[in-house]
A and B are shown apart, each in its own frame.
Chain A
Amino acid sequence: MKFILLVLLYFLILEAKEPISPIPLEVDYDLKKALLGKKLFFDAMLSRDYSVSCFSCHDINEHGGADPRKVSIGFKHHKGNIQSPTVLNARYNFVQFWNGRAKDLLEQANGPLTNPNEHNMDKKTIEMRINNSSFYKKEFKKVYHVSYIYYKLVLKAIVEFEKALTTPNSRFDKYLRGEIKLTDSEEKGYKLFKHYGCITCHNGINIGSNSYQKMGTFIDYDTKSNYPDRSVVTKKEFDKNVFKVPTLRNITQTAPYFHDASATTLKEAINSMSQHNLGMIISDKDADYIISFLKSLDGEKPKILEINEAF
């Protein structure tokens, strides 16, 4: 009996490799297309009043691809209904948006563009604007060899750019690859991260973003609010307050936290999460350890941000 248990344990250990995997150093994307997508990403022409671009709410330079504001401000200063999640490493999200209503980046890109509160555009207008632009005409001709630019191609170019938005080489990734050792506090933080069960939901390449979870499994979380949660998609009561588990990569840069931006600091976020979803109170000391682990998840800025021309 003991023997069997030992064997079982052995297998469990074997299988129990780290539940977090590093971001690959090289990712596949078409540089020319991505650079064209980059232009579009920064172009406010894609909003009806030329006021916002993708970049407006996904600050890939300063804020880890997210919006530092509680909610994003879009067309005619309309406010968004949820905190903008990061666009970085979005290619690794199992679904897009907080409630997973888009199955991939292509579906996602269409959302904000046509949202009346955001870009407030429509397919026709975008096609008209892009095709009227001699610059885009030329660029699309060069990259996609087309004379007429369809809306979908615009989305595809943006998606290609988003695919390039990965942040490899975080300290933790390097640690996973066995290149460096974590600092004591980082290591302690990671252990606690596992120990407290954070890792149950925050795992995988994106340390999250691979499952849905309910906000407030132990203690109900703000049941009165009306955020577009999973139930909006599934129309099921038990999906109330269920969201896609957000990524923790570059988490130090993407404050405020949660769908409702209710946490402005990581400590607040940890406290909130541990109470509502883990049913415990994490001590300040442990929270600090966890924060130092979370800091090790900051990766390098995407290379494409430095590249402007394809060679």
Chain B
Amino acid sequence: MKLSKLLITFILAGIISLISIIYFYSIQRDFTQQHRNFILSINNLENSYADTTNLVLKNSLYIYINQDDIALANKKLEKNYLKVKNSKILSDKNYIDIKKQIESLGEDLKISKENIELFLRINASIKNSLLFLSRHIDNSNILYKYDKKELLRARIILKHFNDVKKLQDLAYIKKEDYLLSSNSTNKDVQNYIKSFNLHSSFLVKEYPFFFKITKKIVDCDVNHHKIETIKHEFSKKAMHDFNALDKFAFILVSIFLISFATIITLLIKYKNENHKLLDTYSSLEYSLTYDQLTNLFNRRKFELDIKDFKNPTLLLININDFKYINDIYGNSIGNLLLKELTKFIKNEMEFFDKTSLYRLGGDEFGVIFNDINIERALAIATKLEKYISKHTFKINNIEIEITVSIAVNNIKPILENADLTLKQIKKSNNINISIYEESLHLKQNVKENMRIVQLIKEALQDDRIVPFFQPIINLQTSKIEKYESLVRLKLKDGTFLPPFKFLDIAQKSSQYDEITKTMIEKTIKVAKKYPQYRFSINMAMTDISNKKITNILFETLQKYQDSNTILDIELLESEHLTDMQMVKAFIKKVHSYNSKVLIDDFGTGYSNFSYFSDLDIDIVKIDGSIVKEITTHKKKFHMLKSIKNFANGMNMKTVSEFVENREIAITLKNIGAIYAQGYYFSAPLEQPLDDDNVTI
């Protein structure tokens, strides 16, 4: 049975037994009350019976007596008897014997009452007669005068009568012994004797009956005994009932106590189970809020908490190159490192009030400060970063040193902004700490990007993607030989947007292909107008694998094959070196249209000399970052010279970009560099120049 069902069962049992106890208690109280009432009324009956007999006794003793008392006592006796007879307890069938006895007692009392009435009646006469006789003897002058002997006899007779009454024995009075007789002829004497004899005869006649009645009344003490018996039997029976009630009460109380104890036990058990459940629940709750590895709050908890902070500042800490640590030492060491770092950060943060530490991701920690200004947060972050980078973590005797990046942010949405900042930090190579600032437009970039996407879309629709042309000068001849076609987005206000403002974004969208296509088509149209110049367009290595772009390119080249127009391709290196065979095939195809292939921005980024051995490159464009500084940095100059010499050795020509002043132009010319381009000569132009002469 289920615990709750069991509990309910016992609670029910408890309640039922409790109700029974209460009900039983009322019954018992009722019974006790009835019992008491019965005892009380039977005692009253006994008393009033005693009173009655007492009064009867008194009545027989005194000559003059107020009989009201005895009448009242009789009434009281009757009333008390009725009370006993009507006792509620006698309606119980267990007490039917007692009831019968009481009924029989009632009969006896009725007889007793009749006897008393009879006794009183006869006693009155007897008393009067005895009184009369004694008075008669007092007034016995006449007898004294005529018959002294009879007077003496009269006295003896009276004495006998008195004795007989006391002794209740008629033997004292012998036949004819109670009558006076005189031979005197005196009329008064005879009258006197007549009166005496009247009463003495009366007494003789009444005495036996009187004695009988008296005896009956005395015997009626049996009633007394009867009442005692009734009381005794009643008590015995009641005792039996009380014992039964006690037993029943004991059983009920036992049931109640057992139920009660069981309920308590079950409740304890219930509580324990509940406790277990609570434990499970809290551990679940814990795992929902805590990170199992570090025992820090987890990201979920962070997201819950962050709403409660009024003025939170977040330090978002990320371990630099944690991936490598895992790769090198294994995940278990990585995990231990995370633990150690947690300890370390916790230690450092101990000094600050109102901080909460979270593990937000694999190698990402968050510290929230409440109500702290950003400078202070930055200071804390700086210190923390420094301490971590200086600390050597010892894990299983392996010494590991790590660096962290910390983004500091107090602008909502806290985590997102900090994340953006952190990405920004990761992009840069030399910054480890940064504050998110709205001036960084990190956030706005997204909006800006969206705007630009929209701009490109509109520009494509309105045909506002246009090529600009920057001349490439032959330093040795001072003539413009080539133009590099550079993409521009013409804004509605007539100004132009340079490629770095939109091309990256375009590259990530389908618009890029469209732009490339436009550029190819528009450039070649211009090139046709200026057959004296060569033209070049820019393509990324990735574009080579883009069939759509290569198709457009080669279709165009095919189309203008006979028109003396030359379109060279400037390839921009990328980290994703595409399939070499494909690039080779591409270059071969380009060459088949008399076009040349240039490598752009060489000397920076992923510049790879192996290109030159594998690929049939015609011209190398030396990156501006080198060219710019050849007059100020000797190393750059030597780099440039080496690249030039290397290129010449490989039968390639060079173009030096970013020639910004004459000094650079002269230096380049002097070392025998052939081509150059840059603002010193000309910024990119809407149209190529008709005059190809340049002054260096």
Contacts and interface: CB of A to CB of B under 8 A. Distances in A.
A interacts with B: yes
Interface of A: 12, 15-16, 19-21, 92, 94, 103, 194-195, 197, 199-201, 203-206, 210-214, 217-218, 234, 236, 238, 242, 277-280
B288 interface: no
Contacts of B68: 21, 92, 94, 203-206, 210
Interface residues of B, number: 30
Given A203-B68, A234-B114, 16 more contacts: A94-B68, A103-B75, A194-B64, A199-B64, A200-B124, A200-B128, A203-B65, A205-B68, A211-B67, A211-B71, A211-B124, A212-B121, A218-B125, A277-B125, A278-B128, A278-B132
B131 interface: yes
B117 A279 contact: no
B195 interface: yes
Contact of B64 (A16, A103, A213, A279): A16
Given A212-B121, A238-B118, A218 B198 contact: yes
A15 B63 CA distance: 11
A173 B682 CA distance: 163
A217 B202 CA distance: 9
Contact of B117 (A92, A103, A211): A211
B82 to A, nearest CB: 11
A279 B118 CA distance: 19
A103 B71 CA distance: 11
A20 B202 CA distance: 27
B66 interface: yes
A200 B71 contact: no
Nearest to A200: B124
Contacts of A204: 66-68, 71
B66 A203 contact: yes
Contacts of B64: 16, 19, 194, 199-200, 203
Among all A-B residue pairs, the 3 with the closest Cβ atoms: A197-B128, A204-B68, A94-B71
A interface secondary structure, majority: loop
B interface secondary structure, majority: helix
Contacts of A214: 121
B121 A211 contact: yes
Contacts of A210: 66-68, 70-71
A19 B124 contact: no
Interface string B125-166: 101110110010000000000000000000000000000000
Contacts of A197: 124, 127-128, 131-132
A21 B202 CA distance: 31
10 contacts: A19-B65, A194-B64, A197-B128, A200-B64, A201-B124, A204-B66, A204-B71, A210-B70, A213-B124, A279-B128
B199 interface: yes
B368 interface: no
B407 interface: no
Contacts of A211: 67, 70-71, 117, 120-121, 124
B62 interface: yes
A280 B195 contact: yes
Nearest to B131: A197
Interface string B187-207: 000000001001100100000
Given A279-B202, A280-B132, A200 B63 contact: yes
Nearest to B61: A12
Contacts of A238: 118
Contact of A217 (B58, B66, B125): B125
Contacts of B120: 211-212
Interface string B350-371: 0000000000000000000000
Contacts of A280: 132, 195
With a 10 A CB-CB cut-off, give which of A103, A212, A280 has the most chain B CB atoms.
A280
B604 to A, nearest CB: 124
Interface string B39-79: 00000000000000000001000111111101110110000
A19 B64 CA distance: 6
A188 B647 CA distance: 185
Given A197-B131, A210-B71, A218-B198, A21 B66 contact: yes
